[in-house]
Amino acid sequence: MDVLNTLDVKGELKVGNPGYTSSAPDGYMKGVGNNGTAGSRFQVTANSSDDTRRLWLGTSHTEAAITITEDKVGVGTTTLIPAATKLHLYDSAPEFRIQDGGDKASNASGYVTFYDHDSLMMKIGVDDGGACRISNELSSNLVLETAGTTALTVASDQHSTFSGQVSATHFDSTGVGTANIFLGSVITKPGSNSLGFIVRNDSNGIIGSLLRSSNTTSTLMTDTATINADANVTGSVKCTQNLRRTITTASNSSNTHTCDLRLNDNFAVAAANAATTIALTVASENIGQSGTIVITNPASVGSLSFAALPSYMLTPDSATINFVTTANAVSLISYYVIATDKVLCNYVGNFG
């Protein structure tokens, strides 16, 4: 039957062959152009002036497998539930499947991708070989939330921030086990009779540890440890080897050499052939600190002299120091800080 204009059907319009065979399909509807070739568009519309009606597509005359409401597609939403989003899946336990026809060992991948108007923003999926990947293609954070609260933030510079505690699950009931913390090292909890951790390399060798037994505290470091901040110790410190110290050169401004006690305990002053002043910078954190100031005279000393020490640098019997001005002489001031304005000093000169 050819219909050149409008065909109104009140009731059902059945298309197909009741005597179904493989060579006689149930039926089909085809849009054609005016020359009998495939048309540019075939349109089926649930006519509605207010866009509230839905188009039903299904294999049952009572239920719809797919519904279309405006530009929203519902799968399994039935005839009673309109699609709420562009794609709405409804079931007791809905599953959205993306399947590659290749083998997962080498040639099977798939992604869900997110774009703005013209560029990729993010993708979630699986690479060839089975590696799962969540990729933020923008220079912004990747955020994992639980209960509407941020749990993990991975910044674009690859630094990660956990909002809560990070716990390892490889410890047994006694608290003994291991946890991989970063590439090339493992943190191991010691036996049940002690607390702390042991840091091991890939060969299981100990590179450092912090241990506390039931009655004693011990620290074992088998490699150099660097601490770039203040360390506060409330108990005693026992050093069984040499305590390595450094010497800081005093700041020199117009031959006034200032030793800032916040920077070090020991200082060096290289005097020039001129009138020389020695001064200190003392903060409350320096109370109880002791150290030395080594003074080295120049080779030419015709104009070398030393000013009296500042009033906060106290000497025995308030004596004025008679500085040695011999060429290349080495002298020493030892000090002990009892207050920010009271530093006990003693001078020994002309070591040689």
Strand partners, 25: none
| Total residue count of the chain as it appears in this document | 352
Of 71 and 265, more confident:
265
**pLDDT tens digits along 220-271:** 555 566 777 788 888 888 888 898 899 999 999 999 999 999 999 999 999 9
Report DSSP state, residue 171.
B
- Averaged pLDDT for residues 128-157: 86
* C-alpha to C-alpha distances, 105 to 110, 126, 134, nearest whole angstrom: 13, 11, 19
Q: List the one residue out of 250, 275, 258 whose CA is nearest residue 312.
A: 258
Q: Is the model's pLDDT at 181 over the cut of 70? A: no
Residues near 224 by beta carbon (within 8 Å), at least 6 away in sequence: none
Predicted confidence at residue 221, as pLDDT, reads 52
What integer best gives the mean pLDDT of the chain?
A: 79
d(CA 276, CA 65): 96
CA atoms within 13 A on the CB side of 61: 4
- Averaged pLDDT for residues 126-133: 82
Q: List the one residue out of 293, 307, 299, 294 whose CA is nearest residue 326.
A: 299
* C-alpha to C-alpha distances, 42 to 29, 32, 38, 39, 91, nearest whole angstrom: 9, 8, 9, 7, 30
Q: What is the DSSP string of 12-65?
A: ----S-SS-BTTB-S-----B-TTSSBPS--------TTS--EEEE-SSSS--S
Percent of the chain at pLDDT > 70 equals 65
pTM of the full predicted structure? 0.44
Q: Which two tokens stand for residue 70?
A: 């405006």
Q: Is the model's pLDDT at 312 over the cut of 90? A: yes
d(CA 258, CA 277): 8
Q: Is the model's pLDDT at 332 over the cut of 90? A: yes
Residues near 139 by beta carbon (within 8 Å), at least 6 away in sequence: 156
Q: Is the model's pLDDT at 313 over the cut of 80? A: yes
Are 175 and 191 in contact, with CB atoms under 8 Å apart? no
Residue 149 CA, chain-centre distance (Å), reads 17
Predicted confidence at residue 183, as pLDDT, reads 40
Handedness of CA 180, 182, 183, 184 (dihedral sign): negative
Ramachandran region, residue 62 (left: φ > 0; alpha: ψ -120 to 50; beta: rest): alpha
Predicted confidence at residue 37, as pLDDT, reads 54
Give the residue extent of every domain in the chain: 43-96, 110-162, 177-220, 247-351
Burial class (CB in 10 A: 0-12, 13-18, 19+), 271: buried
Our CA dihedral for 279, 283, 285, 288, rounded to 10 degrees, sits at: 40
